[in-house]
A and B are shown apart, each in its own frame.
Chain A
Amino acid sequence: KAGVTQTPRYLIKTRGQQVTLSCSPISGHRSVSWYQQTPGQGLQFLFEYFSETQRNKGNFPGRFSGRQFSNSRSEMNVSTLELGDSALYLCASSLDDMGGYGYTFGSGTRLTVV
């Protein structure tokens, strides 16, 4: 079956612009989480959506936002881009099972802010 699909794979934006990243989870997975990966900070949790509702949010400024659609696809948006937003953004989906099935990650979107 298809994995988690993130688009686009690479993106170059100018400081001050905004960007939207997309994530399509595995069919049947209802939970979608987003992470930012940088060399200095490692992997940091951004937010998680389940059934179109944000259930959990990490410690990021309000410039970072997201949403989930009825088909479980998710988008995250970053407004007023800063150089420090350059990172690999990873999306993960899960069955939302209490037993801890684990999370399947996409290949990520590499965002470069210049």
Chain B
Amino acid sequence: AQSVTQLDSHVSVSEGTPVLLRCNYSSSYSPSLFWYVQHPNKGLQLLLKYTSAATLVKGINGFEAEFKKSETSFHLTKPSAHMSDAAEYFCVVPQGSSNTGKLIFGQGTTLQVKP
């Protein structure tokens, strides 16, 4: 069965410094992987997705993630944090190799950005 583990429940950075949100996955095959962001009282917004093409994936708002099969990781990074990046971030993997509509969510990482 597929699963994702977000290694930090809370990350705090200063504005202008790099962001690293860590995610490890478990899958019996090469999965699709997603990062979503949720701002307070809002729905989920897709940041980026990996679908077995390039291992370095660029997303919106300057975020990117690298798929590392040897480490079973899909960490999310951004070179310089902005105050508007403060939100909750979810690493997500679809269940199964086909599109069954079921997404498995990590527990989430809350990103705090200090001025």
Residues in chain A near residue B102, CB distance under 8 A? 33, 45, 48, 56, 58
Contact residue range for chain A?
20 to 34
Q: Is the interface of B mostly helix, strand, loop or mixed?
A: loop
Instruction: Decide if A97 touches B46 in the complex (CB within 8 Å).
Output: no
Is A62 close to B, CB under 8 A? no
* Proximity bits, A91-103, B CB within 8 Å = 1, else 0: 0101011111111
Is A84 close to B, CB under 8 A? no
- Which single residue of chain B is at the shortest CB-CB distance from A90? B43
- Which single residue of chain A is at the shortest CB-CB distance from B108? A42
Question: In the bound complex, how far is the Cα of B43 from the Cα of A31, in angstroms?
Answer: 18
Question: In the bound complex, how far is the Cα of B100 from the Cα of A43, in angstroms?
Answer: 17
Is A107 close to B, CB under 8 A? yes
* Proximity bits, B21-46, A CB within 8 Å = 1, else 0: 00000000000101010000111111
**A89 CB → nearest B CB, Å:** 10
Q: Assuming the A-B contacts A100-B32, A100-B49, A100-B94, are A105 and B99 also in contact, with contact meaning beta carbons closer than 8 angstroms in the complex?
A: no
Selected from B43, B94, B104, the residue in CB contact (under 8 A) with A106 is B43
Q: Assuming the A-B contacts A48-B101, A98-B99, are A90 and B49 also in contact, with contact meaning beta carbons closer than 8 angstroms in the complex?
A: no
Instruction: Decide if A94 touches B105 in the complex (CB within 8 Å).
Output: no
Q: Assuming the A-B contacts A48-B100, A56-B101, A96-B99, are A105 and B49 also in contact, with contact meaning beta carbons closer than 8 angstroms in the complex?
A: no
Residues of chain A having any CB pair with chain B under 8 Å: 4, 6, 31-33, 35, 42-43, 45, 48-50, 55-56, 58, 90, 92, 94, 96-108, 110
